[in-house]
Structure 1
Amino acid sequence: MDANARPVADERDGLLTYLAQQRRVLKAAAFGLTPEQLRATPSASALSVGGLVKHVAFTERGWADTIARKPRAASVEDYGAEFVLTPEDTLESLIAAYDEVAAHTEEVVAGVADLGEPVPVPDEPWFPEDISEWSVRWVLLHMIEETARHAGHADIVRESIDGATAFELLAATEGWEPTPWLKPWEPTPSA
């Protein structure tokens, strides 16, 4: 596999494929991190790679539930807590939870007959008050945008931790053969 999304068959497949691609890149940013590195905030922001994975999974779950007309799991007061890792949060548990969310999203979207179907705008202060609904299509595009934005944040945080870059990490996670221009990431031996 390479770093690109695979060819797509139609609009729905394209939206889900690009969302999956961005999930893949975000998860690669976390690959091989120690518990301390997962929580590290080495840049000017308070973002950690683990917190970004947790936040994006939380946000995607909220959007999938909104498409499915289920109540959102958290309140405005809870915003921000999903960036914070608990002592129980591990790389494995975060990735497993994110994979569950991805499967849930795929299932919800598979059950939608028309991507133009309306989705109510959540009653949260960061959403416009003059719009009452978006479409499933809009929500999927928004999820791609949100995931890509945070995958970029995770790339910066990860590179600040140990110098690893997205292509090296993808090569390591997917077992790419080394080439003259790219070597899969390997952990630095402990001193």
Structure 2
Amino acid sequence: MTTSRTDPPLAADEATTLVAFLDYHRDTLRLKTEGLSAEQLGQRLPPSTLTLGALLKHVALNEASWFGEVLHGRPMPEPWAGADWEADRDWEMTSAADDSPEELRRIMDESVEQARRDIDAALAAGGLDFRSARLDRKQNQQFTLRWILLHMIEEYARHNGHADFLRENVDGVTGE
């Protein structure tokens, strides 16, 4: 499967622009991990323990958490609900080594597809000012959909930078 990436529009409304930038960054991570074996997805760049496979599973967790659990108040689905977070607070990262490339991509793709439905529902119900079901733990306030979209763009952008270094270390491939 080859990922195609579409540049965000230069002139669009705010919601369309934010969702397009999020999709752009989602596709960027897919591109940076495309065509790699399980061994390559598990390769580290010491002293870090981070891997490309771990990034795929980590962003999938973030998609499910921010758009499902925080925004809409749903319990976390599997594989997150059954994880022993007490024993390993980085479970999504460490357990990625046990998943095949196909499984990692499936988990990410399913999380993204559900997140797209969650975003569409929030936009239809209240637009970018739609308020989250869950409260922020520090300030005890609701998040807006706008804030969550911007946070997720930042999250992907940061991890895409990590993916640049990891992918170059795996096979020398560099790029956007």
Smaller-chain TM-score range? 0.7 to 0.9
Give CA deviations for 1:74-100 in whole Å, capped at 9, x if unaligned: 586353111123565111111122111
**Out of 155, 159, 164, which is 2:164 matched to?**
155
Report the number of matched residues. Answer: 162
Going from structure 1 to structure 2, the CA distance change for 1:50 and 1:136 (only over 3 Å counts) comes to same
Equivalence for 2:90: 80
Between the aligned partners of 2:34 and 2:41, the Cα distance in structure 1 is 9
Between the aligned partners of 1:142 and 1:96, the Cα distance in structure 2 is 23
In the superposition, the TM-score normalised over structure 1's length comes to 0.75
Give CA deviations for 1:16-75 in whole Å, capped at 9, x if unaligned: 111110011111111121211110112431100000110011111100112112134558
- Alpha-carbon distance, 1:154 to partner: 1.1
Q: Is the 2:167–2:174 Cα contact (8 Å) retained in structure 1?
A: yes
- Alpha-carbon distance, 1:7 to partner: 4.6
Q: Is the 2:5–2:24 Cα contact (8 Å) retained in structure 1?
A: no
**Out of 8, 13, 19, which is 1:16 matched to?**
19
Instruction: Confirm or deny that 1:106 pairs with 2:116.
Output: yes
Q: Is the 2:71–2:143 Cα contact (8 Å) retained in structure 1?
A: no
Structure 1's consecutive aligned runs of 4 or more residues displaced over 6 angstroms after TM superposition are none
The structure with the largest helix share of the pair is: 2
User: Does the residue aligned with 1:50 lie in a helix, a strand or coil?
Assistant: helix
Greater gyration radius: 1
Unaligned runs of 5+ in 2: none
Taking only aligned residues, the RMSD between alpha carbons, in angstroms, comes to 2.2
- Percent of aligned pairs sharing the same letter: 34
